[in-house]
Structure 1
Amino acid sequence: MADRIAGLREGTSDPGVELTVVSKAFTREGGIAGARELLDRGLTAIVGLNDAMAIGILSELRQHGIRVPEEMSVVGFDDIAVAPDVAPALTTARIPMLEMGQHAVSLILRPASDEARTITTAHELIIRQSSGPPGLTAARIS
């Protein structure tokens, strides 16, 4: 979670972008609850820290007649299997979970005296239909 938050902060370093933080459960229901809190703030984008949250955000926006991405962009993390199948298809950061798991096991098996305890992995932004041109405000639900 900390890496995702740091990446969002780095990506929103433009002084014209306001980052609003709302903490909720990493579930579809957490995404719904977070979106409810953010609806009246005049935002143009919401980022869920996983795709389940982002799908909940999409659901809540649909309930309120908010068009995605015309009125609000929604982005998630992980690129779960259903991300391209929801409507609109979810823009998401693809995180190499299998590779991360393999690295985690190798770190656990290394002697504690080894200095290299941090491993960097690649990620990829998968742009689909849930995001459009950037607005002046954004929010993150974590």
Structure 2
Amino acid sequence: MTVTLADVAAHARVSPATVSRVLNGNYPVAAATRERVLRAVSELDYVVNGPASALAAATSDLVGILVNDIADPFFGIMAGAAQAHLNTPSDASAPIRTNAERLAVVCNTGGSPARELTYLTLLQRQRAAAVILTGGAIEDAEHSAAVAAKLARLAEAGTRIVLCGRPALGGAEFVHATLSFDNRAGARRLTGHLLSLGHRRIGYVAGPAERTTTRHRLEGHREALAAAGAADDPALVLHGSYDRASGRAAAARLLSAAPDLTAIVAANDTIALGVCAEARERGLRIPEDLSVAGFDDLPSATDAVPALTTVRLPLYEAGARAGALAAGAGAAGHVEVVPAELVVRGSTGVVRAG
């Protein structure tokens, strides 16, 4: 049964006119009401039909780029690179007209599972030619199934699906290309580097527990500890947001609870900068008193004093490749593991005797 605009209005407990205003963006609507309407659109999988939409082609020149936080350079770099490479020459099988400019729309989910589903529904409604999903996935079986179902419907309508920095969807033949980062291997090398310098009491500041990126990086860290026969103390692992404030707060807790720590690994460079700030506040020298390491190799990593030891992910290159794939490059079913490279700088050093 086809879902109508009236059905959406009833589900959201608003008038059909309000639903129309939200979807068309031509009239101000209260934020709470707008969110309720978009949630109803997503839950009912509403896609506009009728004479106006019939004028559109099976796919448009619109490309949606989903990010968790556009203010985070990790996502901003990939999104910018993808947009810059959407208009490269594409092959004859591309769903996008090869002689047209593509309009990239960056969809900032804010880490919300509901918003992720809503954006996918709205991109389906706009008959997007391609959708690029960046960064780690949310580890929730119900949400994962809902995302897979949305992507399958998009693909059935001719939308090209590209995953960038996200694990492959098992059995999802409808995904055109997957570029996944080798987070585990990168984390193993990073913690292995610290172990080689004599560190054995190593704190770890992780990202949100429900993210695949968080789990994979933490698994790599623990694999390195196990390989070296070093103790894996759960009390030395703290979870938080992928931001500077989270790093500073976690470092304060770790250093207060375990003053014998000689190193802290952060799940990304932004967290690491927060760790460094807290260490300096406590009068600790980096790396003489505390070694600090990050992940991603963001531009800020080289601006830190001392420069940050980290794991380099080729974010721009991966985003550019994702943009070209979304524009029609490559054969369907392309799967690529993007390597992670250890970059040693001044923020890590040998453990001082005594």
Alignment of 1:82-101 (within 5 A): 82-101=300-319
What is aligned with 1:8? 221
Alignment of 1:88-127 (within 5 A): 88-101=306-319, 106=325, 114=333, 119-127=336-344
For residue 120 of structure 1, give the secondary structure of its aligned residue in structure 2.
strand
Gaps of 5+ in 1: 136-142
What is aligned with 1:74? 292
Correspondence 1:34 to 2:250? yes
Query: Percent of aligned pairs with the same residue?
Result: 38
Give me the whole-angstrom Cα distance separating, in 1, the residues matched to 2:217 and 2:315.
14
Alignment of 1:56-67 (within 5 A): 56-67=274-285
Segment drifting more, 67-76 vs 118-127: 118-127
Q: Deviations over 1:54-73 (max 9, x none)?
A: 00000000000111111111
Give me the whole-angstrom Cα distance separating, in 1, the residues matched to 2:219 and 2:336.
16
Is the CA contact (8 Å cut-off) linking 1:29 and 1:56 kept in structure 2?
A: yes
Q: Which amino acid aligns with 2:255?
A: L
Is the CA contact (8 Å cut-off) linking 1:24 and 1:33 kept in structure 2?
A: no
Change (3 A) 1:16 1:55: same
Give me the whole-angstrom Cα distance separating, in 2, the residues matched to 1:123 and 1:72.
24
Q: CA RMSD in A?
A: 2.5
Segment drifting more, 91-100 vs 53-62: 91-100
Give me the whole-angstrom Cα distance separating, in 2, the residues matched to 1:23 and 1:44.
19
Deviation, 1:6, is 2.1
- What TM-score comes out, normalization by structure 1 length? 0.79
Deviation, 1:121, is 1.2
Q: Deviations over 1:72-97 (max 9, x none)?
A: 11000111112112111111100122
Of 237, 247, 251, the residue aligned with 1:21 is 237
Deviation, 1:17, is 3.8
Q: Deviations over 1:83-134 (max 9, x none)?
A: 1121111111001223443566649x886xx5x6x53111111111110126
Is the CA contact (8 Å cut-off) linking 1:103 and 1:119 kept in structure 2?
A: no
Q: Which amino acid aligns with 2:293?
A: V
Q: Which amino acid aligns with 2:303?
A: D
Change (3 A) 1:8 1:121: same
How many residue pairs get aligned? The number is 131
Give me the whole-angstrom Cα distance separating, in 1, the residues matched to 2:263 and 2:311.
15
Gaps of 5+ in 2: 1-212
- What TM-score comes out, normalization by structure 2 length? 0.34
Change (3 A) 1:98 1:133: same
Of 241, 246, 271, the residue aligned with 1:53 is 271
Give me the whole-angstrom Cα distance separating, in 2, the residues matched to 1:73 and 1:124.
19
Structure with the greater relative contact order (CA < 8 A, sep ≥ 6): 1 or 2? 1
For residue 293 of structure 2, give the secondary structure of its aligned residue in structure 1.
strand
Correspondence 1:128 to 2:327? no
For residue 68 of structure 1, give the secondary structure of its aligned residue in structure 2.
coil
Give me the whole-angstrom Cα distance separating, in 1, the residues matched to 2:317 and 2:351.
31
Is the CA contact (8 Å cut-off) linking 1:49 and 1:77 kept in structure 2?
A: yes
Whose helix fraction is larger, Structure 1's or Structure 2's? 2
Point out the structure with max Rg over C-alpha.
Answer: 2
